[in-house]
């Protein structure tokens, strides 16, 4: 009997301690949330009072991928254009550039460093989807606009954030677009290759879902990691075991894309190739050399034949300064800051909530791609283009 009473007392004490612990946890969580809310409120208020002087823009790049070198180049050129043309009237832009090296821990530290600087209300960058999804909550909590010119996972735009924006289509849109293009080419079977990344899997899965709806079969599907380079064996297996009438290649580096095309040519395949995103074509007029069929690049840049004066001037300045044509990252990085400058002007200050409100409500901003507006989730209403390289015989 005594033993049962002791056990009952112990149980009651344990229950009380658990209740106290849960109450304390709830209070601490509420306090942390209040601190975050207070930080965001203070940041927004400080920015609203900032009516002239320097506006600091955080920039986060990844130097481990050569394609992303153009991120810093694009925003740096945008700063020069915006400042020299006095687009922001009482303000001048200044960049705070950091490198996340494609590592999540480094990126989180960078995001926290930007958040600790109460003069930073806008961050552009974190080009990798796998990195962007890890830092987005930090920027959201601290009331900072996070604008990425290349991270394309749909997860970024479907979590309720009012401060997230991008000017590159998401993976689902790209995958659906490729499926429609394959259908227009009368393709019924696709051989698909993509990087084993958040981006690669996202585009591949979206393509397969949309291809199925169009009664198109993904007859071969292969992924590769960062160290992979032997596309010849992969393509040889395709030729030996699968039938297909179009190839889809997803690449984020020009080196991998070029190696793949060379392997396809050596194996003497004769089917159309669809590539995304555009990385090699930016660097020269004939990036693929002789191929027996058409190569289609999924591109966000308008064709130069129909491009605006703004776009032509940008390409000329970029080429003159950096000795190369802009790829999609350089293009979208310049465009991102150019759009933000217009939104800051309309908001009357760099306050993140005010600028975000303008971005959401505007019917369109002048940009390199023409008029661009944004949906409620931060995704752009932006045309996807096709750049076709027609067959050319060997010289």
Q: What is the mean pLDDT of the chain?
A: 89
Give the tens place of pLDDT for each residue, 229-239. Answer: 789 999 999 99
pLDDT of residue 36: 46
Specify the higher pLDDT residue, 84 or 306.
84
Mean pLDDT of 335-361: 98
Q: How confident is the model at residue 202 (pLDDT cuts 50, 70, 90)?
A: very high
pLDDT at 240 over 90: yes
Q: What is the pLDDT of residue 6?
A: 61
**Domain boundary, last residue among 237, 268, 299:** 299
Task: Let me know if residue 322 belongs to a domain.
Answer: yes
What pLDDT does residue 20 have? 47
Average pLDDT (118-147) is: 97
Same domain, yes or no, for 142 and 163?
Answer: yes
pLDDT at position 282: 46
Integer Cα distance of 274 and 38 in angstroms: 49
Residue 109 falls inside a structural domain: yes
Question: Is 290 found in the same domain as 181?
Answer: yes
The answer to whether residues 213 and 272 belong to one domain is yes
What is the domain extent for residue 313?
A: 52-169+307-381
- What is the pLDDT, as a whole number, of residue 39? 87
Q: What's the confidence (pLDDT) of residue 18?
A: 47
CATH number at residue 107: 3.40.50.2300
Average pLDDT over residues 107-115: 98
**Does any domain span residue 394?**
no
Q: What local confidence, expressed as pLDDT, does residue 226 receive?
A: 79
- Window from 126-140, 216-230, 234-248 with minimum mean pLDDT: 216-230
The DSSP bridge pattern shows strands 273-276 and 246-250 to be parallel
The answer on 265 and 231 residing in a single domain is yes
What is the torsion angle, in degrees rounded to the nearest 10, for the CA atoms of residue 287, residue 290, residue 295 and residue 298? 0
Q: What percent of the chain has pLDDT over 70?
A: 87
Residue 260 belongs to some domain of the structure:
yes
Task: Annotate the chain with three-state secondary structure.
Answer: CHHHHHHHHHHHHHHHHHHHHHHHHHHHHHHHHHHHHHHHHHHHHHHHCCCCEEEEEEEEECCCCHHHHHHHHHHHHHHHHHHHCCCCCCEEEEEEEEECCCCHHHHHHHHHHHHHCCCEEEEEECCCHHHHHHHHHHHHHCCCEEEECCCCCHHHHCCCCCCEEECCCCHHHHHHHHHHHHHHCCCCEEEEEEECCHHHHHHHHHHHHHHHHCCCEEEEEEEECCCCCCHHHHHHHHHHHCCCCEEEEECCCHHHHHHHHHHHHHCCCCCCEEEECCCCCCCCCCCCCCECCCEEEEECCCCHHHCCHHHHHHHHHHHHHHCCCCCHHHHHHHHHHHHHHHHHHHHCCCCHHHHHHHHHHCCCEEECCEEEEECCCCCEECCCEEEEECCECCC
Q: How many CB atoms lie within 10 A of CB 262?
A: 14
Q: How confident is the model at residue 12 (pLDDT cuts 50, 70, 90)?
A: low
For residues 126 and 59, what is the distance between their CA atoms, to the nearest angstrom? 8
Give the pLDDT band of residue 211 (cuts 50, 70, 90): very high
Q: Are residues 96 and 185 in the same domain?
A: no
pLDDT confidence bin for 31, thresholds 50/70/90? very low
Confidence of residue 15 (pLDDT cuts 50, 70, 90): low
Q: What share of the chain has pLDDT > 90, as a percent?
A: 73
Query: Is the pLDDT higher at 252 or at 384?
Result: 384
Q: Could you report the per-residue pLDDT of 351-372, keeping only the tens digit for each?
A: 999 999 999 999 999 999 999 9
Whether residue 160 sits in one domain with residue 86: yes
Please tell me the total count of domains within the chain.
2
Residue 27 pLDDT greater than 50, yes or no: no
Encode pLDDT of 150-192 as tens digits: 999 999 998 899 999 999 999 999 999 999 999 999 999 999 9
Evaluate whether residue 86 is within a structural domain: yes
Looking at residue 1, its pLDDT comes to 57
Of residues 108 and 388, more confidently modeled = 108
**271 plus 181 within the same structural domain:** yes
pLDDT at 141 over 90: yes
């Amino acid at each position: 009997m005594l033993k049962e009473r002791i056990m009952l007392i112990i149980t009651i004490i344990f229950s009380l301690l658990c209740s106290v612990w849960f109450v304390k946890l709830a209070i601490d969580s509420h306090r942390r949330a209040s601190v975050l809310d207070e930080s965001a409120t203070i940041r927004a208020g400080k920015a609203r009072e900032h009516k002239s002087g320097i506006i600091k823009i955080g920039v986060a790049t990844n130097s481990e991928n050569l394609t992303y070198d153009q991120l810093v180049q694009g925003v740096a050129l945008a700063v020069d254009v915006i400042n020299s043309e006095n687009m922001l009237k009482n303000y001048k832009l200044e960049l705070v550039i950091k490198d996340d090296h494609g590592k999540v821990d480094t990126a989180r530290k960078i995001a926290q460093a930007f958040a600790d600087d109460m003069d930073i209300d806008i961050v552009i960058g974190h080009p990798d989807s796998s990195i962007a999804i890890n830092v987005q909550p930090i920027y959201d909590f601290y009331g900072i606009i996070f604008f990425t010119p290349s991270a394309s996972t749909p997860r970024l735009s479907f979590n309720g954030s009012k401060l997230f924006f991008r000017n590159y289509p998401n993976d689902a849109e790209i995958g659906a677009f490729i499926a429609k293009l394959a259908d227009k080419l009368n393709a019924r079977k696709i051989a698909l290759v993509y990087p084993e990344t958040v981006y690669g899997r996202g585009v591949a899965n979206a393509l397969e879902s949309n291809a199925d709806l169009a009664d198109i079969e993904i007859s071969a599907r292969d992924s590769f990691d960062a160290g992979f380079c032997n596309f010849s064996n992969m393509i040889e297996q395709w030729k030996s075991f699968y039938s297909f009438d179009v190839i889809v290649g997803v690449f984020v580096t020009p080196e991998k894309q070029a190696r793949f095309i060379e392997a396809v040519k050596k194996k003497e395949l004769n089917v159309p190739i669809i590539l995304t995103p555009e990385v090699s074509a930016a660097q020269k007029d004939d990036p693929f050399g002789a191929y027996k069929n058409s190569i289609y690049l999924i591109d966000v840049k308008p064709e130069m034949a129909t491009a605006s004066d703004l776009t032509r001037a940008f390409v000329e300045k970029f080429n003159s300064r950096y000795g190369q044509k802009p790829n999609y990252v350089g293009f979208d990085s310049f465009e991102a800051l150019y759009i933000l400058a217009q939104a800051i002007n309309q908001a009357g200050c760099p306050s993140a909530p005010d600028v975000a409100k303008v971005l959401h409500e505007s019917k369109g901003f002048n940009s390199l791609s023409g008029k661009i507006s944004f949906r409620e989730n931060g995704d752009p209403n932006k045309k996807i283009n096709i750049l076709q390289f027609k067959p050319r015989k060997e010289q």
